[in-house]
Amino acid sequence: MDLSKNFFQLFALPISFDIDMSKLMDAYRSLQKVVHPDHFASGTDKEKRLSIEMAAHLNEGVDTLKKPVKRAIYLLKLQGIDVDFEKNTAMSPMFLMDQMELREQLEAVAKQADPFIAIDALYERIAVMQKERIEDFKAAYNRITSDIGSGDNNGDGNNGNAEDIVAEMQFVEKLRIDVERLEETLD
Protein backbone atom coordinates (compact mmCIF):
# COMPACT_ATOMS: atom_id res chain seq x y z
CA MET A 1 0.00 0.00 0.00
CA ASP A 2 1.33 3.37 -1.00
CA LEU A 3 0.79 6.14 1.55
CA SER A 4 1.57 8.82 -1.01
CA LYS A 5 -1.46 7.96 -3.15
CA ASN A 6 -4.51 10.11 -2.72
CA PHE A 7 -7.59 8.46 -1.21
CA PHE A 8 -9.26 7.97 -4.58
CA GLN A 9 -6.20 6.21 -5.98
CA LEU A 10 -5.88 4.21 -2.78
CA PHE A 11 -9.30 2.67 -3.34
CA ALA A 12 -8.90 2.54 -7.15
CA LEU A 13 -11.73 5.03 -7.73
CA PRO A 14 -11.88 7.82 -10.30
CA ILE A 15 -11.39 11.30 -8.79
CA SER A 16 -14.95 12.57 -8.78
CA PHE A 17 -17.68 13.66 -6.42
CA ASP A 18 -19.85 10.76 -7.52
CA ILE A 19 -18.40 7.56 -6.20
CA ASP A 20 -19.47 3.95 -6.28
CA MET A 21 -20.06 3.32 -2.59
CA SER A 22 -20.01 -0.48 -2.85
CA LYS A 23 -16.70 -0.37 -4.77
CA LEU A 24 -15.30 1.89 -2.08
CA MET A 25 -16.38 -0.44 0.71
CA ASP A 26 -15.12 -3.55 -1.15
CA ALA A 27 -11.74 -1.96 -1.77
CA TYR A 28 -11.60 -0.78 1.82
CA ARG A 29 -12.33 -4.24 3.21
CA SER A 30 -9.81 -6.04 1.05
CA LEU A 31 -7.08 -3.51 1.87
CA GLN A 32 -8.01 -3.62 5.52
CA LYS A 33 -7.46 -7.38 5.55
CA VAL A 34 -3.98 -6.95 4.13
CA VAL A 35 -2.77 -4.31 6.55
CA HIS A 36 -4.63 -5.42 9.66
CA PRO A 37 -2.27 -5.11 12.65
CA ASP A 38 -3.25 -8.62 13.81
CA HIS A 39 -1.28 -10.06 10.88
CA PHE A 40 1.86 -8.44 12.17
CA ALA A 41 1.54 -9.53 15.79
CA SER A 42 4.71 -11.60 15.41
CA GLY A 43 6.37 -9.19 12.98
CA THR A 44 9.14 -6.70 13.63
CA ASP A 45 8.44 -3.43 15.44
CA LYS A 46 8.78 -1.63 12.14
CA GLU A 47 6.20 -3.89 10.51
CA LYS A 48 3.82 -3.39 13.43
CA ARG A 49 4.20 0.36 13.30
CA LEU A 50 3.69 0.43 9.54
CA SER A 51 0.57 -1.70 9.69
CA ILE A 52 -0.94 0.58 12.33
CA GLU A 53 -0.10 3.62 10.21
CA MET A 54 -1.62 2.05 7.13
CA ALA A 55 -4.76 0.92 8.93
CA ALA A 56 -5.20 4.47 10.23
CA HIS A 57 -4.63 5.87 6.74
CA LEU A 58 -7.25 3.50 5.34
CA ASN A 59 -9.78 4.48 7.97
CA GLU A 60 -9.18 8.15 7.34
CA GLY A 61 -9.53 7.54 3.63
CA VAL A 62 -12.81 5.69 3.84
CA ASP A 63 -14.21 8.23 6.29
CA THR A 64 -13.23 11.09 3.98
CA LEU A 65 -14.74 9.57 0.87
CA LYS A 66 -17.88 8.21 2.49
CA LYS A 67 -19.19 11.54 3.74
CA PRO A 68 -20.31 14.01 1.05
CA VAL A 69 -19.05 17.15 2.82
CA LYS A 70 -15.67 15.64 3.62
CA ARG A 71 -15.40 14.26 0.10
CA ALA A 72 -16.13 17.70 -1.36
CA ILE A 73 -13.54 19.37 0.87
CA TYR A 74 -11.01 16.69 -0.08
CA LEU A 75 -11.68 17.13 -3.80
CA LEU A 76 -10.99 20.86 -3.46
CA LYS A 77 -7.86 20.13 -1.44
CA LEU A 78 -6.56 17.93 -4.27
CA GLN A 79 -7.05 20.98 -6.51
CA GLY A 80 -4.99 23.07 -4.10
CA ILE A 81 -7.96 24.82 -2.50
CA ASP A 82 -8.07 24.78 1.29
CA VAL A 83 -11.53 25.25 2.72
CA ASP A 84 -11.41 27.23 5.94
CA PHE A 85 -14.79 27.31 7.66
CA GLU A 86 -13.55 29.53 10.48
CA LYS A 87 -12.92 32.46 8.18
CA ASN A 88 -16.04 32.26 6.12
CA THR A 89 -18.96 33.88 7.97
CA ALA A 90 -20.36 36.03 5.17
CA MET A 91 -22.73 33.48 3.76
CA SER A 92 -25.65 34.17 1.46
CA PRO A 93 -28.27 36.14 3.44
CA MET A 94 -31.04 34.15 1.79
CA PHE A 95 -29.44 30.90 2.84
CA LEU A 96 -28.95 32.14 6.40
CA MET A 97 -32.55 33.32 6.60
CA ASP A 98 -33.69 29.84 5.58
CA GLN A 99 -31.41 28.35 8.20
CA MET A 100 -32.80 30.68 10.86
CA GLU A 101 -36.32 29.70 9.89
CA LEU A 102 -35.46 25.99 9.92
CA ARG A 103 -33.86 26.38 13.34
CA GLU A 104 -37.05 28.06 14.56
CA GLN A 105 -39.07 25.16 13.17
CA LEU A 106 -36.76 22.69 14.87
CA GLU A 107 -37.18 24.54 18.15
CA ALA A 108 -40.96 24.34 17.82
CA VAL A 109 -41.04 20.61 17.00
CA ALA A 110 -41.53 19.43 20.57
CA LYS A 111 -44.61 21.67 20.96
CA GLN A 112 -46.39 20.19 17.95
CA ALA A 113 -49.35 17.85 18.38
CA ASP A 114 -47.50 15.30 16.27
CA PRO A 115 -43.80 16.11 16.47
CA PHE A 116 -42.90 13.27 14.10
CA ILE A 117 -44.78 14.91 11.25
CA ALA A 118 -42.83 18.10 11.92
CA ILE A 119 -39.59 16.12 11.99
CA ASP A 120 -40.40 14.47 8.67
CA ALA A 121 -41.15 17.85 7.11
CA LEU A 122 -37.73 19.06 8.26
CA TYR A 123 -35.98 15.99 6.87
CA GLU A 124 -37.69 16.53 3.55
CA ARG A 125 -36.54 20.12 3.27
CA ILE A 126 -33.05 19.17 4.36
CA ALA A 127 -32.91 16.43 1.71
CA VAL A 128 -33.90 18.92 -0.99
CA MET A 129 -31.30 21.43 0.22
CA GLN A 130 -28.61 18.75 0.24
CA LYS A 131 -29.48 17.60 -3.24
CA GLU A 132 -29.43 21.14 -4.64
CA ARG A 133 -26.06 21.83 -3.10
CA ILE A 134 -24.53 18.60 -4.33
CA GLU A 135 -25.59 19.49 -7.89
CA ASP A 136 -24.20 23.01 -7.45
CA PHE A 137 -20.97 21.66 -6.06
CA LYS A 138 -20.47 19.24 -8.91
CA ALA A 139 -20.99 22.04 -11.42
CA ALA A 140 -18.57 24.35 -9.57
CA TYR A 141 -16.02 21.56 -9.23
CA ASN A 142 -16.22 20.82 -12.94
CA ARG A 143 -15.56 24.49 -13.68
CA ILE A 144 -12.47 24.41 -11.45
CA THR A 145 -11.03 21.26 -12.97
CA SER A 146 -11.66 22.41 -16.54
CA ASP A 147 -10.10 25.82 -15.72
CA ILE A 148 -6.99 24.10 -14.48
CA GLY A 149 -6.95 21.90 -17.56
CA SER A 150 -6.98 24.95 -19.81
CA GLY A 151 -4.23 26.64 -17.80
CA ASP A 152 -6.57 29.35 -16.53
CA ASN A 153 -6.08 28.71 -12.85
CA ASN A 154 -5.21 32.17 -11.58
CA GLY A 155 -7.29 31.78 -8.45
CA ASP A 156 -9.74 34.57 -9.09
CA GLY A 157 -12.36 32.51 -10.84
CA ASN A 158 -15.09 30.32 -9.46
CA ASN A 159 -13.11 28.72 -6.65
CA GLY A 160 -14.83 30.84 -4.01
CA ASN A 161 -18.10 29.62 -5.31
CA ALA A 162 -17.26 25.97 -4.68
CA GLU A 163 -16.06 26.83 -1.18
CA ASP A 164 -19.29 28.69 -0.43
CA ILE A 165 -21.31 25.69 -1.55
CA VAL A 166 -19.26 23.38 0.66
CA ALA A 167 -19.85 25.74 3.58
CA GLU A 168 -23.58 25.51 2.94
CA MET A 169 -23.37 21.73 2.65
CA GLN A 170 -21.65 21.60 6.01
CA PHE A 171 -24.31 23.90 7.48
CA VAL A 172 -27.16 21.73 6.23
CA GLU A 173 -25.40 18.61 7.50
CA LYS A 174 -25.11 20.14 10.99
CA LEU A 175 -28.80 20.92 10.90
CA ARG A 176 -29.59 17.35 9.87
CA ILE A 177 -27.55 16.03 12.80
CA ASP A 178 -29.44 18.33 15.18
CA VAL A 179 -32.78 17.11 13.79
CA GLU A 180 -31.60 13.54 14.38
CA ARG A 181 -30.58 14.37 17.92
CA LEU A 182 -33.96 15.86 18.65
CA GLU A 183 -35.72 12.89 17.10
CA GLU A 184 -33.86 10.58 19.43
CA THR A 185 -35.17 12.47 22.46
CA LEU A 186 -38.77 12.22 21.27
CA ASP A 187 -39.51 8.53 21.72
Partner 1 sequence: MAYSDKVLDHYENPRNVGAMDSEEGSVGTGMVGAPACGDVMRLQIKVSDDGIIEDAKFKTYGCGSAIASSSLVTEWVKGKTLDEASEIKNTAIAEELALPPVKIHCSVLAEDAIKAAVNDYKKKQGSQES
Q: How far is the CB of 126 from partner 1 (least distance, A)?
A: 12
Nearer to partner 1, 132 or 178 (CB): 178
Alpha carbons 79 and 166: distance in angstroms, whole number: 14
Nearer to partner 1, 38 or 84 (CB): 84
Q: Count CB atoms within 10 A of the CB of residue 137.
A: 25
Nearer to partner 1, 93 or 151 (CB): 93
Q: How far is the CB of 28 from partner 1 (least distance, A)?
A: 27
3-state secondary structure of 50: helix
Cα torsion through 174, 171, 133, 65, rounded to 10: -60
Nearer to partner 1, 58 or 175 (CB): 175
Q: Residue 18 to residues 66, 130, 138: CA-CA distances in angstroms?
A: 11, 14, 9
Q: Which residues bind partner 1 (CB under 8 A)?
A: 85-86, 88-91, 93, 95-97, 99-100, 103, 107, 166-168, 170-171, 173-175, 178
Q: How far is the CB of 21 from partner 1 (least distance, A)?
A: 25
